[in-house]
Amino acid sequence: MADPERHPFLQGLSKHRGAPPTVVVIFGASGDLTARKLIPAIYNLSFDNLLPADFHLIGYGRKPIPDEEFRSIASAAIKDYSRRELDAEVWGRVAANTSYVSGGYDEKAGFDRLAAKIFSIEKTIGSEAQSLFYISTPPSVFGPIIQNLGASGLGSRYVGKAHHSKVIIEKPFGRDLDSARALNAELRSVFEENQVYRIDHYLGKETVQDLLVQRFANSIFEPLWNRNYIDNVQITVAEDQGVGTRAGYYEQSGCLRDMIQNHTSQLLALTSMEPPGSFDAEALRDEKVKVLKAIEPIGLGQGGDACRAQYAEGMTAGKSVPGYLQEAGIAPNSSTETFAAIRLFINNWRWQGVPFYLRSGKRLPRRVSEIAVQFKKPPGTIFPQKEGFNLAANTLSFQIQPDEGLSMILNAKIPGLETRTQPVKMSFRYATTFGSNTPEAYERLVLDAMIGDGTLFIRGDEAETSWKLYTPLLDFWRSEGRTGMGGYAAGSWGPVCADELLSAHGHAWRKP
């Protein structure tokens, strides 16, 4: 097979986007995310020569770990999780500048040791270096870390210069409106907004960015992108996996918090926002906030706009699997939803009356994420409504994952001497056009934060706007306990209530 790195469409692309000398500090260095995503992302950036010449990595955690051991943990993580195999030379360059500092998150002395380490790195490289603090810990220690970054002075270094200290913060960004506001206030007590990078890793996915390019670099879509031509929009983020080993986290979260409030709603915002004046972090995020603010409150209770359910035992990939309540670590009377579907209406000129249907769930038939824009049927039809005249609504679907790409359903004539029709699919696939060497979301996001580009990160007001929309529903579901909780067999496309949200408007879920 041709080397994807040499694909003709990829040649001549800039390899270096110019980050200044950088020290990345990972809090939660021995955690799962660090091993699965962050270390492999840094390794692949190094592979692509995208790290600055003076790049240093410091792991910070409670557990005392010698530098050498941290380096071997990191190289094992690359072997296990990187999209590319471990190349000793490439990793050697990063490993030579990788170290570990142990300390508590609420221990100021630990942060002083960290500061001393950063100063000594600056001395070695002979220049100022930006610090990028990556908070990849459970939310219970977000507060102490932020406060200690403030108290140690690390959070406010070089403010006013492009290489000021930056902080990346992982989800969950709060668990409702009040907690998101409190976290924003805590961040603001130490950092300026332009120092804060709130991650939603969906924004780092290639096809999510492609959505913006498709919408705003092609002139054919914009005239049709409104209530006059679009009938409904269906956004699906489906997973075949169950709760796995994350029961402790998931029981406190549930599908609405884990997927809908952030990932799925980001897809909604990018699909429905107005064209920004420029491809610039503030312009783009202003538009996302505007459209999120224009969403009508979610109707609660029977006949409302939301449906929730838990998976029951069933079959996935030919194997029988237990129901959610039978999984290890799940309370037998848990009222945590593993599936949620929501019907939203955007109250603005462009979208008035067009339903946006969102659904996400665990233990669905397969892992697939897509945005399907369904156009209105042609007014009447000159073709007879009988056998052989199969006509479908035109549907433009953005395939976020897997098999990334874009497809359009059109109606075509079946070849032959009589006129017969059939829906056909016109497709663009990333893998066939560009080769299958797509970077992982975290590579793009870590690089963007190093460069200081906040376009693909969530702004503080955006996080609050989204929580404002969903918090009344979360409160309602909490007050209801298990009342109204639907069920679905593992391996099925979800509960009946999800179908009813659509059938009430004459729609049906498209099979992704």
Site for ligand BG6, rule CB under 6 A: 239, 258
Measured from the CB atom, the residue of 190 and 341 that comes closer to ligand BG6 is: 341
CA atoms of 401 and 327, how far apart (whole Å): 27
Measured from the CB atom, the residue of 225 and 339 that comes closer to ligand BG6 is: 339
Whose tokens are 């670099």? That residue is: 217
E strand or H helix at 187:
helix 177-188
In the bound complex, what is the minimum distance in angstroms from residue 175's beta carbon to ligand BG6? Answer: 13
450 closest CA partner among 191, 82, 125, 162: 162
In the bound complex, what is the minimum distance in angstroms from residue 463's beta carbon to ligand BG6? Answer: 14
In the bound complex, what is the minimum distance in angstroms from residue 502's beta carbon to ligand BG6? Answer: 23
* Residue with the shortest CB distance to ligand BG6: 258
Tokens of 11: 């040649």
In the bound complex, what is the minimum distance in angstroms from residue 44's beta carbon to ligand BG6? Answer: 16
- Which of 201, 263, 505, 507 does the annotation list as catalytic? 263
Q: What angle do CA 297, 285, 169 make, to 5 degrees?
A: 95
Confirm if 373 and 247 have CB atoms less than 8 A apart: no
Confirm if 492 and 315 have CB atoms less than 8 A apart: no
Catalytic residue list contains 263 = yes
E strand or H helix at 421:
strand 421-429
CA atoms of 18 and 163, how far apart (whole Å): 12
Identify any residues that bridge with 55 across adjacent strands, giving them in sequence order.
Answer: 22
In the bound complex, what is the minimum distance in angstroms from residue 444's beta carbon to ligand BG6? Answer: 13
Measured from the CB atom, the residue of 239 and 453 that comes closer to ligand BG6 is: 239
Measured from the CB atom, the residue of 236 and 465 that comes closer to ligand BG6 is: 236
List Cβ neighbours of 129 (8 Å cut-off, separation of 6 or more).
20, 21, 22, 23, 54, 56, 118, 121, 122, 163
60 closest CA partner among 21, 128, 19, 116: 116
CA atoms of 7 and 10, how far apart (whole Å): 5
| Rama region for 303: left / alpha / beta (φ>0; ψ in -120 to 50; rest) | left
Measured from the CB atom, the residue of 156 and 401 that comes closer to ligand BG6 is: 401
Tokens of 325: 């309540």
Measured from the CB atom, the residue of 102 and 338 that comes closer to ligand BG6 is: 338
What are the Cα distances from residue 128, in Å, to 51, 124, 191, 410, 448?
16, 10, 19, 57, 19
Q: What is the DSSP string of 284-325?
A: HHHHHHHHHHTBPPPPPSTTSSEEEEEEESEEETTEEE--GG
In the bound complex, what is the minimum distance in angstroms from residue 110's beta carbon to ligand BG6? Answer: 28
Confirm if 228 and 326 have CB atoms less than 8 A apart: no
In the bound complex, what is the minimum distance in angstroms from residue 343's beta carbon to ligand BG6? Answer: 22
Measured from the CB atom, the residue of 258 and 327 that comes closer to ligand BG6 is: 258
Measured from the CB atom, the residue of 246 and 468 that comes closer to ligand BG6 is: 246
In the bound complex, what is the minimum distance in angstroms from residue 340's beta carbon to ligand BG6? Answer: 12
Q: Where in the sequence numbering do the catalytic residues fall?
A: 263
